[in-house]
Amino acid sequence: MGSRRFFGTDGIRGRTNVSPMTAEMAMKVGMAAGKHFLRGDHRHRVLIGKDTRLSGYMMESALVAGFTAVGMDVVQVGPLPTPAVAMLTREMRADLGVMISASHNPFEDNGIKLFGPDGYKLSDKDELSIEALLESQVNLAPSADIGRARRVDDAPGRYMHAIKSTFPQRLRLDQLRIVVDCANGAAYKVAPSVLWELGAEVIAIGVSPNGKNINDECGSTSPQALQETVVASAAHIGIALDGDADRLIVVDERGTIIDGDQLMALIATQWAKAGRLKGGGLVATVMSNLGLERYLATQGIGLERTSVGDRYVLERMRSGGFNLGGEQSGHIIMSDHATTGDGLLAALQILAAMVEQGAEASALLNIFKPAPQLLKNVRFAGGKPLEDATVKAKIAEAEKALGDTGRLVIRPSGTEPLIRVMAEGDDAAQVRHWVGAICDAVQSVAGD
């Protein structure tokens, strides 16, 4: 079937009104994906959600046109988190789910993520079949079989009910003051509501979307406003979601950022003690800190590493029978409850542990001492700098120097002309030295 032209590791994404992220392409995706999922003679249904980007209106209308043109009915649920769309696709027995979002990217970008009827992101095989249809003439439905579109109003309530049901019934958040930063994105209504309904005193920021301010100096990729608000309001904890609410970063009561590695360490430990952890361990990516791996080993919990990207984490979870996995960036997948990363779901696990143990966030969430880790990006003009002999020699030299107590992860970005160079070890100065040396080597052969 050939290689992918449009689908990346997380659907189709790009700058809006620039190919491939145009209304014309969205309509073609609707027609191609609709045609691919027309199976049997029942009325076919696709569920479409979006985040709060200005271009969401345009992309949604174009997708609706494409899907209805091939005979699919459309259910529009409006702005909702990506995991809500995955969940509702399954719950409402849709043949296909679509999320219009570019996650943590700025408002100028947008993307199209597709979910199968089981609520999981599409397989490579399905994506390649849709790509083939994108470049062919799709047969349109006869006039009498064109699809209908309707909006449903109870989708947020359904998602909120499902999320709240994962929180232990015997517990309440009555004693907690929580700051939640919704990134002016998809969870701007549901996240504060869920926390309030569970009893918390909620201070919500990043809940005034205007189409252009999603992820703009707010959310999990810019937590400074959250840090300041937590300290200024003497809150017990701060929670930051990204634009489509599938990732979580936490700020403790002192204003210190807690990344996904520490959050996964807590959840894995809690679940292991309760006999809930499946697969014998946790699935994380090559970017997760060495400190996490060492800590889990002391608890008798394994760590399996995958390539970067939540789709690879999920693939390993499904093939190995794991029920917990995620990324340092805060994508945390709990497959007993969801088919994709869910920031709010993960936050409730953290909050339940706080209530149960009566512990402050700083005491609860600094579980292991991270090994010194440094990541730098080198922009390059073209070619394949990692195949150059001098770069290879420098990498080999670094690997030898770091030995058994360190790690090196060097990879090209999947979305930009960047080489990502990450090293970690017990000696921060040594880590800095080798990251710098490898970056210099790449720069000297690749140019900017």
pLDDT in tens, 37-74: 998 888 999 999 999 999 999 999 999 999 999 999 99
Q: Does residue 19 carry a catalytic annotation?
A: no
380 φ, ψ (degrees, to nearest 5): -135, 155
Distance CA 196, CA 427 (A): 44
Give just the sign of the alpha carbon dihedral 220, 113, 261, 345. positive
201 φ, ψ (degrees, to nearest 5): -85, 120
Which band of pLDDT confidence, cut at 50, 70 and 90, is reported for residue 417?
Answer: confident
- Helix 260-273 crosses helix 343-357 at what angle (to 10 degrees)? 60
Tell me which of 101, 103, 220, 329 is the catalytic residue. Answer: 103
**What is the percent of the chain where pLDDT is above 70?**
98
> What's the average model confidence in pLDDT over 79-87?
98
pLDDT in tens, 150-195: 999 999 999 999 999 999 999 999 999 999 999 999 999 999 999 9
Distance CA 232, CA 430 (A): 38
pLDDT in tens, 401-414: 999 889 999 988 76
The pTM is what?
0.92
Nearest alpha-carbon partner for 214 in 130, 107, 95, 317: 107
- Answer whether CATH 3.40.120.10 is correct for domain 161-255: yes
Query: What pLDDT does residue 41 have?
Result: 84
Q: Is 405 helix (H, G, I), strand (E, B) or coil?
A: helix
Query: What is the chain's length?
Result: 448
Nearest alpha-carbon partner for 331 in 53, 118, 51, 83: 83
Distance between terminal CA atoms of the chain?
34
- Sheet with 407-412: list strands edge to edge: 373-379, 418-424, 407-412
Query: What pLDDT does residue 1 have?
Result: 41
- Helix 343-357 crosses helix 155-164 at what angle (to 10 degrees)? 30
Domain 12-153 identical in fold to domain 373-446: no
Distance CA 178, CA 383 (A): 48
Task: Classify domain 260-365 by CATH number.
Answer: 3.40.120.10
- Answer whether CATH 3.40.120.10 is correct for domain 12-153: yes
- Answer whether CATH 3.30.2040.10 is correct for domain 373-446: no
- Contact by Cβ (8 Å): 347, 266: no
What does the domain layout of the chain look like in residue ranges? 12-153, 161-255, 260-365, 373-446
**What is the percent of the chain where pLDDT is above 90?**
88
